[in-house]
Structure 1
Amino acid sequence: MSSASDGLDPGTGGGSEEQRQRGIWILLAAALAFAVLVLPQVVEGDDTTSFAGSALPAGGASRPPTSPGGLPGVTPTGLPSASLPGYGSGDGGGGARPTGTQAPATPTPAPDPTEEAYRAVRPGDCLAVYDTGYGDYNTRMPVPVDCGAGRAFMWVSAVRGSGGACPQGPGQNYLSYTSRGRTTALCLTRQYKAGYCLLAEQTGSGRQARMNAGLMTVVDCEAKRVPARYNRILHITGVYQAPANASAANCARVRGDRTSYWSWLVNGGRTLLCTMVYQG
């Protein structure tokens, strides 16, 4: 009797052990299913927003924030992303927040090549520009050329903030350009060379003849057509330092010269310009 009472009942004791083992396997299987099916979804969902509005861990690679449509977020023009609230910078601080925001940067204006060309011109430069006779200049882009070149028609005496500040007179004028409310005026003095031609308008004849010259113009001496406001082509015969009481009489090139000359005092009265009607 004593030996029977000290032992385990094979029918009941063994059944309980098997149930406990089965319960343990069920729990393990449930835990495994949770890890496989549920846990990855939580990590993936958290990963899509884990960098929004917080600093990245040291050494972490940043990723552009996403817009509601899933496209990479676009930083507004002129605002660096680090200046926007919620866009952290990787400083190793874990959950550190930006200490402040920067003021929006002033947009950089688009370059204006013409304005840059005007502002690059300096007093003493020479330009290949001239009055066409049609009410405009041959170019609006003042590119400097060597003052000894044949096409160096204008000498820049000064650079001013308005054309009204430039010297005015025979053989003088200005070329200006305004951009963004700022004007650059190039004060021009015509460079005359013997052998070149310019445009003029003659009224009357004989002793009553008058000649109005376009002193800033340049024209082909053999041009078959001229602008409507002109009817003569004048040939430059000489450019001299003006003597006292200068006149066309000082244009004679030889003793007894009977050529009909037309003359002007230019360059502030310091230069005598001598011309004649072009004969071909």
Structure 2
Amino acid sequence: MSFYPGASGDSDDDGDDLTSGTRIHVRGDGHSRIRVAGRDMNTSYFVSASSAALVALVGLVILLGMWQPWQEEAAAGGERDRVGAAIGSDAPGGTPTKPVPYPEPPTPSEEDTQPPAPEPTPTSASPTPSPPNAIDGAFASAVLGTCLNVYDDGWGKLSHHRPLPVDCGANYAYSKVSMVTTVASNCPQGAGQRGWGHVNADGSTIALCLDRVFAVGQCFPATLTRQADGSFRSEGRLFSVWGCDRTQVPSGQNAIMVITAVLDSGNCPQRSDRRTFSWPVFNGGDTVCAVQQRN
């Protein structure tokens, strides 16, 4: 007796196709021949032919229950769900569900596969220099022989906070640089002279030694004191420039003097209408001659 559901392919001695499918052949000699998916499975029986057929049928059912090729196909389909578009279901007639895929490791990008770039080597770049300070530059440019529009304002302060170079022939060239040094105390401190110190932005120091530029017609404040013998003692603020037409003088002063001559030697010329006073300047190198201004 033979039983074969859906067999196809090669044939056995009876002409049957034995390549694939399931075939059960029960023979009268007490043996049975079962062929599943092209493989032979032989067994013996000791029951009647009808019982043997029943046993073979039960064995087939058990074998198919263990093999379940459709589950392999469904499993293959479920695996495709993870990478493709196929969708499986948990039970027949159930709502289709898509299995949650395992997280795949990220594909390395081109940047990840490249060796890391070396860290840039720090360079000792020179710091950007600060813009030059205007006052520092003015002091640096006032070299020996430079004439300036700078003088004592009559109150002990200079007229400008930085050097203002001018033409030495101008009538407002009131001082001249006689030496450049580091501190004002290095400058000569005689009549008609003054040191002008400055601290630069970088902490360095500079000092301009100035000589007063005297000219006929200029005025300066002074103190005149009559002595017991009738003579006058004069103290003039020789580095100051004062308006000749002014009616007031700085505190402590009582006269405005107008320059009548500047001599490098000799005596000052006298006038008949008023007393002439003289002041040695530049450590005796010159003499300033002046009379009291009358308003």
Per-residue CA deviation, residues 203-254 of structure 1 (Å, 9 max, x unaligned), is 22682321100000001111132211211111111223322xx3xxx3247x
Equivalent residue number for residue 83 of structure 2: 28
Call closer, same or farther: CA 1:126–1:260 in 2, change over 3 Å.
same
Query: 1:1-280, aligned counterparts within 5 Å?
Result: 1-8=14-21, 15=70, 18-19=73-74, 21-29=76-84, 34=103, 39=106, 94-97=116-119, 112-179=133-200, 181-204=203-226, 207-243=230-266, 246=267, 250-252=268-270, 257-280=272-295
Kept in 2: contact 1:242–1:269 (CA 8 A): no
C-alpha displacement of 1:198: 0.5
- Measured in 1, the distance between the counterparts of 2:274 and 2:226 equals 18
Equivalent residue number for residue 96 of structure 2: none
State the AA in 2 paired with 1:22. G
Structure with the larger helix share: 1
SS of 2:18's partner is helix
C-alpha displacement of 1:186: 0.7
SS of 2:16's partner is helix
- Measured in 2, the distance between the counterparts of 1:17 and 1:178 equals 95
- Measured in 2, the distance between the counterparts of 1:150 and 1:31 equals 100
**Number of paired residues?**
222
User: Taking structure 1 as the reference length, what is the TM-score of the superposition?
Assistant: 0.65
Which blocks of at least 5 consecutive residues in structure 2 are unaligned? 1-13, 23-36, 38-63, 85-98
- Measured in 1, the distance between the counterparts of 2:16 and 2:288 equals 149
Equivalent residue number for residue 31 of structure 2: none
SS of 2:159's partner is coil
Equivalent residue number for residue 77 of structure 1: none
Kept in 2: contact 1:233–1:278 (CA 8 A): yes
SS of 1:236's partner is strand
SS of 2:74's partner is helix
C-alpha displacement of 1:124: 0.3
- Measured in 2, the distance between the counterparts of 1:178 and 1:109 equals 16
C-alpha displacement of 1:267: 3.0
Per-residue CA deviation, residues 33-70 of structure 1 (Å, 9 max, x unaligned), is 856xx849x98xxx9xx9xxxxxx8xxxxxxxxxxxxx
State the AA in 2 paired with 1:196. Q
Higher RCO by CA contacts (8 Å cutoff, separation 6 or greater): 1
Call closer, same or farther: CA 1:6–1:182 in 2, change over 3 Å.
closer
Structure with the larger strand share: 2
User: Taking structure 2 as the reference length, what is the TM-score of the superposition?
Assistant: 0.62
- Measured in 1, the distance between the counterparts of 2:120 and 2:167 equals 57
Kept in 2: contact 1:242–1:265 (CA 8 A): no
Task: Using the aligned pairs only, state the percent identity.
Answer: 27
Residue range with higher mean Cα deviation, 147-156 or 167-176? 167-176
Kept in 2: contact 1:163–1:174 (CA 8 A): yes
- Measured in 2, the distance between the counterparts of 1:102 and 1:193 equals 60
Per-residue CA deviation, residues 2-50 of structure 1 (Å, 9 max, x unaligned), is 4242343699897367425414412314798856xx849x98xxx9xx9
